[in-house]
Amino acid sequence: MKTLCATGAVLVATSCLDLDPKDQLSDAQVWTKPDNFTLFANQFYGWTRDFQGSTTVTYMNGVSDGPHADTRSDLLCEASTNIYSEGSNSILATDDNYNNLYKRIYYVNLLLDRAKEFSDQAGIAEPKGEALFFRAYLHFELVQLYGDCILLQEPLDIDSRELYGPRTDRLTVIKACIQDLKDAAALLGETPSEDGRVCRYTAWALLSRIALYEGTWQKYHNQNTAESQALLKEAVDASLEVMGSGRYELFSSADLGGRDSYRYLFVLENVQCNPAGLTKSANKEYIFARRHDQTLKPIGLNITHGVLNNAYYPTQKLADMYRCQDGLPISISGQFKGYATQNSEFENRDNRMNGTLMMQGQKYWNNDGSWRISWNEEDEGEGRFMTADRRANSGYANYKWATERQVPDRSEGYDYPIIRYAEVLLNYAEAVYELNGKITDDELDASLNLVRRRSNPTMTKLSNALVDGHAAQGMTMLGEIRAERTVELFLEGFRIDDLKRWKTAEDEMPGDLLGIQFKGTWYESNWAKQLRPLNAEGRIILYSNRKWADKNYLLPLPNDETQLNPALGQNPGWK
């Protein structure tokens, strides 16, 4: 047994790691044949984002609360205030995110180290590529959460001086991630595997995310134009690798229609789960996903009841961000019908609005007591439905991630999209604009407009003429690109990270979290028990007294780490 260390926090591990399946092999046995390298790499797939990681290793949480979750943003809140959303979090004594990320980096480095002397390099190309992919994935998590971090590219012993030195500059770490992903792409297979393992284009897709993130961070935080431009060019090129592969497409079904193609994408299972009878095999949008199955690997989180109807509180900011069918923001569109009636704000809007948020009086189903049986109009005729009532909490009712089929709580089997093709298309559009200060209509049609018109086949495309024609009213191309990204990726763990990299959190986060327009609408006369305060415009105030300081752009390093290694320092503003 060898005692190992990661960045000052002592971790006891052995070379006979906790493999999946649970093979207890000695160090000499593990590295004897290619299959064992693959077996060793299996564990890496348990380290990604999911609906919920754990209550302590929260970097993995994509829907439940965690560092990337929308509950820590300006789009969504819960019954209790979120200390990260309101800017009142403090330095932790210990942080399992920090500890586990470094522990896991040790494991990927161990595989890469043992691979150096292995005789059959071709036979272990895939697990080597996987290790490089996950080393980039894990280091990127550290950069997003903490900024500068110790870059580890070797499995180090407890007395290694590198573990007690200062952190590596974030830009150096990101460049190492990009190189790892390029090396991984050269080793990995070209065809997405049936069992969900990463392939060449998974590496390019993650590279597009990382390069866009850091390219915009360097642009808006550090004003480092040269590095920003280089990174944005990397993001464009990586996105084009995926877009040109022909391997992926947006999920869309004529039988479902635009709105419901978007809605049912997120609850696809290998049983009847939508009116068209489509299953996971119809989904070529997920580039990398955390796989689930009701019997073999259920989600394990009470996902349907945890998000449905009034369980989460979507905010007015999200609802107002959906464009009208003429492609314009509600503030300047002549198609916007206002808020006066029960559902007038839904009229003439982006279909994703009603693919995500329910209208007052809308029929809907869940997995318990009102599930669908016939998957046609008979489900309504038999009365097996519920009727949405928006008169609670924010007045907006979510149904993204909620199934309509009968299934026990916590046993839903749909996959969590770690990376999907829609994100890559949006990465491309944003990176092109940030790189060049402009984007052509052809580039928009090859990316953002595909995403927009999946749900809205007749919606006006985003174009330079549309933006230029309304520039005097405040419409900008960058604003439209960012809004498109926000509504498409809602509740998938992007918003707070986007606000941080754009350096707009200081503007977007301190304001009150607001609900529906109450005063002067149908709700004022028909929601007798609405007791929350209203703002000056008559909107429901969910939470107020929120603040944001520059220090909140990064999490603080935990006390135990800075005490063990004072050379780490602390992030700006944290004491």
Would you state the pLDDT for residue 427?
A: 99
Q: Is 478 left (phi over 0), alpha (psi -120 to 50) or beta?
A: alpha
Task: Delineate the domains of the chain, giving CATH numbers in brackets.
Answer: 3-188+556-568 (1.25.40.390), 206-246+415-509 (1.25.40.900), 251-284+292-414 (no CATH)
Would you state the pLDDT for residue 25?
A: 54
Would you state the pLDDT for residue 14?
A: 26
The letter for the amino acid at 336 is F
Q: Is 410 left (phi over 0), alpha (psi -120 to 50) or beta?
A: left
| CB count in 10 Å sphere of residue 327 | 22
Please check whether residue 74 is in contact with residue 490, taking contact to mean a CB–CB distance below 8 angstroms: no
Question: What six digits make up the tokens of 84?
Answer: 């990260």
Angle at 51 between CA 515 and CA 188, to 5 degrees: 130
* DSSP state string for 294-325: TTTB---S-HHHHHTBTTSEE-HHHHHHSPBT
* Residue 62 three-state SS: coil
Closest CA to 13 of 104, 75, 80: 104
Measured between alpha carbons, how far is residue 440 from residues 160, 331, 424, 450, 526 in Å?
52, 25, 18, 14, 48
Question: What six digits make up the tokens of 470?
Answer: 């309304």
Residues of the chain falling short of pLDDT 70: 1-26
> Is the peptide bond preceding residue 127 cis, with omega within 30 degrees of 0?
no
Please check whether residue 357 is in contact with residue 401, taking contact to mean a CB–CB distance below 8 angstroms: no
